[in-house]
Structure 1
Amino acid sequence: MNQRKQSCFPTSPVSRSSSFSRQPPRVLIVDTSPPWWSETRSVICEALDNFLALASSLEGPSRLPLLSLYAVSLQQECLLPFVQVKGNFVRLQSCVEELRSLPKEGCTGPRGDLLKQAVLDGLQQFKQFVRHAAATSNVNSHSVEVTLLTGRPGRAVVRQLEERLKDSDLVSLRRLLVVHIAVEQNYPERESAWSQEGLSTGGTDDPEENLMLHTVVDLQVVENCVTAVENVLKMWLHDQGGDREHLHLLLPPSLQDFGPDPNPGRRPIPVCLKCDMQERLLSPALLSGIPVLGTKTESLWDFHPSVTSLTNQSPSPQRLRVIKALRAEGVCQSVLYGLPLVIRSTTCWQLDWDELETNHQTFHALCYTLRARDWFLLVRSEPDSGCSTGVFSYYLLQSSSSLSLLLKPVLTRELLLSSSTPVSNEDPPASALTKVQSSLDQLEEDPMFNPLCLSTNLYRHLKMRGLAQRRGHPYGQNNRTQNQSRPQRRDSLQPPEGSTSRQSQGRVRATVAPLPSAAATRLSRRPLTLSRSRPHGPSPVLDDTDDCHSDVQFSPV
């Protein structure tokens, strides 16, 4: 019975355990051969250091369960065997420092068989790890993804790998990505980023020889900067499930499916669009130990400074500095997150009337100017005095038709995830376009959105849960234990056997005996006087025998 009741209170779909359950282990191969290593070393090491600091600090399900790192130059070297990433930043950072210490000068370029050997060694290491440590690890994937970072021309590296890996056992290889970090001398090859044509067309003339590798080898060309390499690594933090679609989007039934003479007995079938979902940012709530400012704006309490004072003085107001003006059409909604807060001109009673009036007029002028220019304001939180390592938070201020501004947190570089959204310049097929248009034409169109017309059934849910607590629902385990202890307390308050006083009957109805009424005392009371010279005011005493509408009595001083 309790299990049936619990099904009425489902958990949030965001917290389902199926999310990030198929994250593959990663093998990172870094091409450290001169002369390209001298151009890419600082970029790769800094991007890798930043990414591992972020990935190892994330709470929640493990997005990157295992990582192994190889360095390939004149020889192949495994700098990091498979280790757990979460909570292991000290070990990961030491590996990055070892990678940074590799020499920048020497003989030119590794042999192609060394890159092949690094790929195969990573696959063999994964097989051994699964065989010996699968029982104690949280790895649910049966394949591994290999990423190669190189400054050499990407097409040549892809052709070498395809030629040398075509006869190898690649059953446990899920994907092989070659990332070409384009330096100045070969930067024009950036135009071929993610191009599937020409990945394997220059190696051999027989297309069937390369058919096996077409599905696992990709080429990506990025700029030689830290942000671009970070975006490549942050793709690892996305959900790599793909066992089934994430979302079914139901549109009204299309009249095109019924034809000119629809059957009245046929039940209309909605148009179902099957979709996948992708995160745009990492929630700041996944990072523990950072200041709460900026992590959420669900209430004013979240926005107040966390600094506590030994005195009873209230904390100073939070300071936001305006640093830039933005055009409204240039702000993408996907970079905003959290719940908004409304900002109005203050009505604090401690300010002088002239200061309040001047402040209100200036605030009015700001709202009017932003609305007339169609601007947003980018603001940044001011750090606390004496704190040089504080975390900054950024917000957007948006004007409205009323005398108020809307404050919303905005994404920053550290929390932004890579997003590969396809862009198409072609029109959809005529049949699909007609079907969707016919479905959308059945929707009611409102000129203005009114949230008061929407109801989430929250009130009914809260009432049912509250009543379930009284009936012994698992939500109310504490109430049940309290009810079991109450009969013993009543037994201790029972009068002696044979006594039948009205006072004992009153004790059954009241758990706590009421205080004696002030009117029952026959002591004379001095008249109540209000004087400014007295250091303390009168203390109120409520008569506990009355309800909340009882009069307030003041005891004489």
Structure 2
Amino acid sequence: MDNKKRPAGPSSSGSLVFWSSFSRQPARVLIVEASPPGWSETCTVVCDALDNFLSLACNLDGPCRIPLLSLYAISRQQECLLPFVQVRGNLARLHSCVEELRSIPGDGCIRGAARGGDLLRRAVLDSLQQFKQYMRYASTGSQACNNASVEVTVVTSQPGRGVVHQLETGLKDCDLVSLRRLLVVQILGAGDRSQDCQSSEDAQTEDSLMLGTEVDLQQVQNSVFAVETMLKAWLQEQGGDREHLHLLLPSPSDNPAQVCVKCDMQERLISPALIPLTPSLGVKTESIRDFLPAVKGNQSPAPQRLRAIKALRADGVCESVLYGLPLVIRPTTCWQLDWDEMETNGSLFQALCHTLRSRDLFLLLQVEADKRSTAGSSGVFSHFVLQSSPSLSLLLKPVVSRELLLPCSLPASAQDPVPCALQTVQGCLSQMEEDFLLNPLLLSSNLYHHLRSRGLLSQPRYPVRLQSAAADREQTQQSPKNPVSRPPRQLQNRQLGSHSKVRATVAPLPSASASSSLGPPPAKASRPALSFLSSSRRAPAPTRQEEDNDDSDSMTVQ
């Protein structure tokens, strides 16, 4: 899951097509309107949500999701609490900035709403100017940003439509070339909730309302989770330069053209593998060793304890919040148990499978903290879903927690599809074979052929000894004036004639052509001299004088 170490060539995984789009992430500017008296109601919520979000964003591995961040506070005056800095690995500085924002007093009053609107306008323009200066400095150094655009988010408790109107009016004649988007986030109070925001059970944020060409409005609840969800939208892919996926359907019977549905991909959660933590979040479920807790020395690992905390309806579990590989759970066959205990345990397991399957229920499990662990209550607790299967077994799947969820608002559409599009899709699906069961034995990924071809290409063509090759390279470097290597066949013949017992240390080479007596072959056909070992001793290497004598003898014979 470490995407920084993965190759970016065409031979890499297809998922890199999606990861590579993170290079277009914009820089972020957060302007917090901390004017009293509304700041006294939103201060704790905004600062807690911002602190939680930055704790996650600073520790994320993989592609860079937030390249740069700047923070402004608008109270009695405009103040830049944080100039543009890199987010990853910079938690200490960002945390101190949040504490400075928390220390702004929320009591008192500010006269004149126009002054607040003017401060917001000046903060937006100042952030754009700071971004231009940073990009000018980064272009000459090693901190260049791939995307020269910035998104500005204004968090306020004032009426959102009025703030949008003030910004649209104040920025109408300004240079906004580097501004990619300006978002106004209104934190709704107790009186605004019934008028301007639709209530929802999970406190999800509403879709942004396009009120102008430059400024958007988003209304959120006055809760830590709602503000966190708004901030976590920064972690999602913001490229939009090209589509991510082409879904190819079979051609309908009446149309020979292939149907292509172009799609975008969106993450539903942050993979726990991107968080470098000592306690496991349950992401490693590929084997039993990954699931069992780590022990020191030669001690046998204690059984992992999962406590059932809730019973869930099967149709209420969304597959998008599950991750990792599932594990099959079956009754134990440990030989250290006696027969009575093993029989009782098997009966309980069978009763659990039957009850869950007959009632169409899942179990929500939480890892029980080890009492011997020194982490105590500060440890990270992972959660799992236990699902019954038709056989006498259960299926264990990791489930994501609140901290790793990303915003995903996809409401169900109440409109019927367009008749022509519906007819096209139905015609495509009618051309496909239909099966009642998914049989993995009918699926082939061409893995064997790929591994075999890769292994054969990586092997050397001739198993020449490394020491002989090294000696040949050294000899070639010592005599650079002889660019053409002489074939060693005469030397081999002389050694074979002087010793009766000779064995080769390499595989036999194919014989040379009959025309070798006409002279030495060209340089591209030469091979390094092969070393031969006698059964008693090694033949001495010929000197340069002996090689010259051999050449004169061969010319005399010719």
TM-score under structure 1 length normalisation: 0.78
1:168 equivalent in structure 2: 174
- The answer to whether residue 356 in structure 2 is matched with residue 370 in structure 1 is yes
Of 189, 210, 235, which residue of structure 1 is paired with 2:196? 189
Q: What are the equivalent positions in structure 2 for 1:347-358 lying under 5 Å apart?
A: 347-358=333-344
Of 73, 76, 84, which residue of structure 1 is paired with 2:75? 73
2:3 equivalent in structure 1: none
2:484 equivalent in structure 1: none
- The answer to whether residue 466 in structure 2 is matched with residue 484 in structure 1 is yes
* Alignment root-mean-square deviation, CA: 2.7
Q: What are the equivalent positions in structure 2 for 1:304-323 lying under 5 Å apart?
A: 304-308=292-296, 310=297, 312-323=298-309
2:136 equivalent in structure 1: 131
Counterpart-to-counterpart distance in 1, 2:9 and 2:275: 32
CA shift for structure 1 position 471: 3.5
CA shift for structure 1 position 279: 0.8
Counterpart-to-counterpart distance in 1, 2:10 and 2:165: 56
Counterpart-to-counterpart distance in 2, 1:487 and 1:51: 58
In structure 1, what residue type is equivalent to 2:13? S
2:262 equivalent in structure 1: 274
2:288 equivalent in structure 1: 300
Q: What are the equivalent positions in structure 2 for 1:54-93 lying under 5 Å apart?
A: 54-93=56-95
Counterpart-to-counterpart distance in 2, 1:241 and 1:483: 53
Asked whether the 8 Å contact 1:182–1:224 carries over to 2, the reply is yes
Counterpart-to-counterpart distance in 2, 1:8 and 1:86: 25
Please state whether the residue corresponding to 1:74 is helix, strand or coil.
Answer: coil
What does the per-residue CA deviation read over 1:10-63, in whole Å, with 9 as the maximum and x for residues that have no partner? 211223572311010000000101111111111100110011111110112210
Asked whether the 8 Å contact 1:344–1:404 carries over to 2, the reply is yes
Of 315, 333, 339, which residue of structure 1 is paired with 2:319? 333
CA shift for structure 1 position 362: 0.4
CA shift for structure 1 position 240: 1.0
2:539 equivalent in structure 1: none
1:494 equivalent in structure 2: none
Counterpart-to-counterpart distance in 2, 1:124 and 1:9: 39
Asked whether the 8 Å contact 1:23–1:139 carries over to 2, the reply is no
Counterpart-to-counterpart distance in 2, 1:291 and 1:31: 38
Please state whether the residue corresponding to 1:338 is helix, strand or coil.
Answer: coil
Counterpart-to-counterpart distance in 1, 2:466 and 2:352: 62
Please state whether the residue corresponding to 1:250 is helix, strand or coil.
Answer: strand
CA shift for structure 1 position 255: 3.0
**Residues 317, 195 of structure 1: CA spacing in aligned structure 2 closer, same or farther, 3 A cutoff?**
closer
1:38 equivalent in structure 2: 40
In structure 2, what residue type is equivalent to 1:80? L
In structure 1, what residue type is equivalent to 2:237? D
CA shift for structure 1 position 485: 4.1
Please state whether the residue corresponding to 2:187 is helix, strand or coil.
Answer: strand
Bigger mean CA deviation after superposition, 103-112 or 437-446: 103-112
Counterpart-to-counterpart distance in 1, 2:504 and 2:235: 67
Of 143, 163, 169, which residue of structure 2 is paired with 1:157? 163
Asked whether the 8 Å contact 2:33–2:75 carries over to 1, the reply is yes
What does the per-residue CA deviation read over 1:228-282, in whole Å, with 9 as the maximum and x for residues that have no partner? 101111100111111111010000112343xxxxxxxxxx321001111111111
Please state whether the residue corresponding to 2:182 is helix, strand or coil.
Answer: strand
What does the per-residue CA deviation read over 1:129-159, in whole Å, with 9 as the maximum and x for residues that have no partner? 1111234224111221000111111111111
2:246 equivalent in structure 1: 248
Please state whether the residue corresponding to 1:136 is helix, strand or coil.
Answer: coil
What does the per-residue CA deviation read over 1:336-388, in whole Å, with 9 as the maximum and x for residues that have no partner? 11110000000011111111100000000000000011001000112232322
1:99 equivalent in structure 2: 101
Q: What are the equivalent positions in structure 2 for 1:157-556 lying under 5 Å apart?
A: 157-187=163-193, 188-191=195-198, 193-194=206-207, 196=209, 199=211, 214-257=212-255, 268-308=256-296, 310=297, 312-385=298-371, 386-388=374-376, 389-421=378-410, 423-471=412-460, 483-485=465-467
In structure 2, what residue type is equivalent to 1:136? S
1:10 equivalent in structure 2: 11
What does the per-residue CA deviation read over 1:181-218, in whole Å, with 9 as the maximum and x for residues that have no partner? 11102222114943637x3xxxxxxxxxxxxxx23311
Counterpart-to-counterpart distance in 1, 2:288 and 2:144: 39
CA shift for structure 1 position 165: 1.4
CA shift for structure 1 position 500: 5.0
Asked whether the 8 Å contact 1:28–1:146 carries over to 2, the reply is yes
Unaligned runs of 5+ in 2: 1-6, 199-204, 472-497, 508-558
Counterpart-to-counterpart distance in 2, 1:179 and 1:499: 93
**Residues 314, 437 of structure 1: CA spacing in aligned structure 2 closer, same or farther, 3 A cutoff?**
same
In structure 2, what residue type is equivalent to 1:299? S
Asked whether the 8 Å contact 1:285–1:295 carries over to 2, the reply is yes
**Residues 505, 176 of structure 1: CA spacing in aligned structure 2 closer, same or farther, 3 A cutoff?**
closer
CA shift for structure 1 position 7: 12
Counterpart-to-counterpart distance in 2, 1:21 and 1:507: 51
Please state whether the residue corresponding to 1:27 is helix, strand or coil.
Answer: strand
Asked whether the 8 Å contact 2:67–2:87 carries over to 1, the reply is yes
Asked whether the 8 Å contact 1:293–1:302 carries over to 2, the reply is no
TM-score under structure 2 length normalisation: 0.78
**Residues 303, 193 of structure 1: CA spacing in aligned structure 2 closer, same or farther, 3 A cutoff?**
closer
Of 103, 126, 135, which residue of structure 2 is paired with 1:121? 126
Counterpart-to-counterpart distance in 2, 1:232 and 1:454: 41
Please state whether the residue corresponding to 2:307 is helix, strand or coil.
Answer: strand
Please state whether the residue corresponding to 1:460 is helix, strand or coil.
Answer: helix
Asked whether the 8 Å contact 2:28–2:68 carries over to 1, the reply is yes
Unaligned runs of 5+ in 1: 1-5, 200-213, 258-267, 473-478, 490-496, 509-557
**Residues 500, 353 of structure 1: CA spacing in aligned structure 2 closer, same or farther, 3 A cutoff?**
same
Counterpart-to-counterpart distance in 2, 1:352 and 1:291: 34
**Residues 365, 138 of structure 1: CA spacing in aligned structure 2 closer, same or farther, 3 A cutoff?**
farther
What does the per-residue CA deviation read over 1:90-146, in whole Å, with 9 as the maximum and x for residues that have no partner? 010000000000001121465211111111111111111111123422411122100
In structure 2, what residue type is equivalent to 1:41? C
CA shift for structure 1 position 483: 4.7
**Residues 507, 195 of structure 1: CA spacing in aligned structure 2 closer, same or farther, 3 A cutoff?**
closer
